[in-house]
């Protein structure tokens, strides 16, 4: 079953899960190594890994006694395509917009 965009974005909504994905950009990692930098239990990390796996963002494989996590970059493709649809809009330059509003305000005042 293909994960939905909602599932992918829900998985990405948590900063711990985003940090895990960033760590997995480097290489596959054992679950215990993934958990090491976090101040939470291995069970809590495992829950995050389940969410990432269900979203298709990572895969987990048991090698001997060790469970390994691997980034699945293709899982972000649909989300990336969806977000690129908004790329047609330029980012707003807030400083320039503020100057424009101030200029308009001063021109309209008596």
Contacts of 35 (CB under 8 A, 6+ apart): 42, 45
Whether the CB-CB separation of 31 and 49 falls below 8 Å is answered with yes
**Is 80 exceeded by the pLDDT of residue 14?**
yes
H or E, element range at 105: helix 94-108
d(CA 23, CA 28): 9
Domains of the chain, first to last: 5-108 (1.10.10.10)
d(CA 51, CA 60): 12
- pLDDT tens across 43-94, in order? 999 999 999 999 999 999 999 999 999 999 888 888 888 887 777 655 556 6
Whether the CB-CB separation of 58 and 72 falls below 8 Å is answered with yes
pTM for the whole thing? 0.75
């Amino acid at each position: 079953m293909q994960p939905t965009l909602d599932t992918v974005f829900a998985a990405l909504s948590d900063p711990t899960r985003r940090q895990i994905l960033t760590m997995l950009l480097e290489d596959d990692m054992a679950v215990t190594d993934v958990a090491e930098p976090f101040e939470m239990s291995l069970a809590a990390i495992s829950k995050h890994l389940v969410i990432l796996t269900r979203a298709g963002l990572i895969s987990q494989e048991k090698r001997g006694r060790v469970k390994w996590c691997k980034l699945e970059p293709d899982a972000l493709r649909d989300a990336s395509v969806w977000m690129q649809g908004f790329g047609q809009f330029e980012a707003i330059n807030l400083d320039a917009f503020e100057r424009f509003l101030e200029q308009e305000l001063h021109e309209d005042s008596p």
